[in-house]
Amino acid sequence: MRFEQIDSTNLADVGGKGAHLGELSRIDGVRVPDGFCVTTDAFQRVVAEVPSIGAQLDLLSRVKPDDRAAIRTLSAGIRRAVEDVAMPDDLVAAIGESLARLGEHASYAVRSSATAEDLPTASFAGQQDSYLNIVGLAAILRHVRRCWASLFTERAVTYRRRNGFDHRKVRMAVVVQQMVFPDAAGILFTADPVTSNRKIAAVEAGWGLGEALVSGLVAGDVYTVRDDQVVTTTVATKARFVQASPGGGVQDAPIDPRRQTQPALTEAQVVRLVQLGRRIEAHFGRPQDIEWCLVGDDFHIVQSRPITTLFPVPATDDQENHVYVSVGHQQMMTDAMKPLGLSLWQLTTPRPMHEAGGRLFVDVAPVLATPAGRAHLLGALGKADPLIRDALQTVLDRGDFIRLLPDEDSGAAPAGDPPAQIETDPAVVTQLIRHSQASVATLQREIQSLSGPALLDFILADIAELKRILFDPQGLQVIMAGMEAAWWLNDRLEAWLGEKNAADVLTQSVPHNVTSEMGLALLDVADAIRPHADVVAYLHRVVDEGREGDGFLNELAGLTGGQEARDAVQDYLDKYGMRCAGEIDITRTRWSEHPATLVPTILGNIKNFEPGAGKRHFEQGRQESRRKEQELLTRLRALPDGEQKAEETKRMIDRVRAFAGYREYPKYGMVSRYFTYKQALLREADRLVQSGTLREKEDIFFLRFQELHEVVRTNDVDAELIRERREAFRSYEALTPPRVLTSDGETVTGRYRRDDAPPGALAGLPVSAGTVEGRARVVMDMARADLEAGDILVTAYTDPSWTPLFVTVAGLVTEVGGLMTHGAVIAREYGLPAVVGVEQATRLIRDGQRIRVHGTDGYVQILS
């Protein structure tokens, strides 16, 4: 197919690179060297003739992504077979005719173009091969086969395995394009590749062919451009360049010393190139990574692909500047959420949120615009998440992004009075919990008989009841009273006694903390199973075989002690089975749906603890808190005005212990309701599958709540919409959400502005006092955790579902977190030194290294 015959609808025929070249050739003012594509149909016809290709691909699909030796051996065999295959005569003739049209003895670039390459959701740049300065039909045919074979390089195979692409479904076209021999060449990013700012373009330029830059042979000149003005210029010393070889192919050569430090482009050329790039970006509708060549004073575009690493920007219908703060970093859930989960959370939350990349954000620009709003927000974040606070301060310090207003000109400052004070009465907490439990029981009873639109209407109405309980004024008073009492204790006791973070010990084993109780309750489950060797051995097999679902529970009954073990697990699930990692997303798999998730932790508890450990752990925490209280009060009484200070402190200790535990309960109640909704919605989804409306039950997860309501009402669904959203979700999963994002697309990174940590230490936020040394266990999935007593858990984030692991470990390090997020609260409850908000902790700390966690001062040292 000639370039002029190709557009984006031909993706399946010519692959990502070929489709982009066809589109580029249609843009006015964009010069694209002419060429043609050998289609995927040719690839399929020829490769189908490779001996035993089907069997070889089957073997390859079963290899684990990290088994490099097996991938290397299998892929090399497939490559050799593809390179040796004979081409049919009609294909040889078609390629020959195309070359005759363009110039039989001209030089060509022969480039791979896979159907899963250069797509908006996954860039495969560099995963297949390209060949330059190829001359003559025989050489081009040989390199077409080599491009086909490059679909099976070790690197390309590993990439597909890790990203979920089926080897059989990825097909290869080949681009044959006239060579351009440029004076200079390079890459243009229409969004800043470092900060993601969509309004800043970055240009890299070097002498000769662009392969010198792409291969890393030389560092190029770097220019950044904003609003048609060159903002920064860095001219590199370009000692070598890549040029055409007389006999075909390319070679690198030295550059005349006088030209090595000369800029490859003038500022006028840089601006003209960026304007060209903006035209290409507008055509494709997203930021582009563009390969360009300069011949004389003319730019030629040889490739353009989407920049897939950029985090999407929330959509708005205005031209105002916005500053978005990540909700996931507050909720300890930075994974992508599915549409049903996003929409249900939006229905639950009291304030508007913006969606991007499967995550939720709050626009804080209106709050930052006023002095009162600014002081309130930055003050709160100073305690909760210093990295977000610093990022926001960075935006404010620029002086030109947020339009500052006096307080009276804006209604966007935090509204409402602070919650009224509440008497220290533990019975208040008991009553709040009782009301929540009764409300959930009513929901579970009334939802059972509902189906169709009535079910969706009922859930929508019940969300109002959920919000009433979540934001109950008395409940908020209790939570604030507990937090303020902890802050009071920390501030006063450090001022009076030099005691840092005293509240951390004083809040160990507080009553009514449903999340910490959940962790200790799994120790009781281990106690019920530990005496029964057959059951323990069976559970080890469940883990080894990677069992899913709840089928293993029913099989327990046939073993000695199996019924008792099953009852213990089931009782636990009855109380806590609605929980799971990422539980704010209703679509996530709950423990009750996949109880095998808990089995590794149960086995770890059996190995690491003696019977009765749960009750002992709670009592030890209570005794440690009481001992600390007596010690502090004794020291206070020895001070001037000591009796008064001790009396005030005692009142605050009683207050924090009465109220601190309730902070975890509203979310437990919310997740209980979410799971009840989910079970009912899946029953409805099953009906839709039976009627042929849906292909599978989980399709409902890719519909927003109101869309699902319409599908239930009409029995009609847009299957293509669901397919597109599944594909988008998969791309979102690969993205890392920023803490702070601007409407320009810039990800603003905060820093810990402190100098009290030792050289080489990893800085973070101290959230639970104490110092501990131990073996780091880097865990990304709690179901795969293999922990021993004394280990230090290092992970990206922890939500309540991770609590059962806390009873084993001696310390905690996370990449995400704040002073009052769940991991911090439970770490204090269990007396674990903890540092959160440690940037890239799971990459900088290797599994098995010995580390020291300074939970009082907020840093981590890597010891070995």
By annotation, the residues acting in catalysis are 822
Task: Quote the DSSP letter at residue 249.
Answer: S
Give the separation between CA 490 and CA 106, rounded to whole angstroms: 78
Torsion of CA 810, 813, 816, 818, to 10 degrees: 60
Q: Which two tokens stand for residue 851?
A: 């580390």
Pick the closest to residue 791 from 815, 774, 812 (CA basis).
Answer: 774
Pick the closest to residue 251 from 209, 206, 312 (CA basis).
Answer: 209
Give the separation between CA 272 and CA 213, rounded to whole angstroms: 21
Give the separation between CA 537 and CA 547, rounded to whole angstroms: 14
Measured in whole angstroms, how far is the alpha carbon of residue 603 from the centre of its chain? 29
Q: Which two tokens stand for residue 406?
A: 């006096």
Burial code of 755-770, b = ≥16 C-beta within 10 A, e = fewer? eebeeebbbbbbbbbb
Q: Are strands 811-814 and 240-244 parallel, antiparallel or unpaired?
A: unpaired
Residue 792 contacts by C-beta under 8 Å, 6 or more apart in sequence? Answer: 772, 774, 775, 776, 777, 809, 810, 811, 812, 813, 851, 853
Sign of CA dihedral 456, 457, 462, 467: positive
Give the separation between CA 329 and CA 368, rounded to whole angstroms: 19
Residue 779 has φ and ψ, to the nearest 5°, of -125, 125
Going edge to edge, which strands form the sheet with 747-748?
Answer: 354-356, 359-363, 323-326, 740-742, 747-748
Pick the closest to residue 21 from 136, 244, 174, 191 (CA basis).
Answer: 174
Pick the closest to residue 90 from 38, 149, 153 (CA basis).
Answer: 38
Q: Which two tokens stand for residue 347?
A: 């229905």
Pick the closest to residue 163 from 196, 128, 194, 117 (CA basis).
Answer: 117
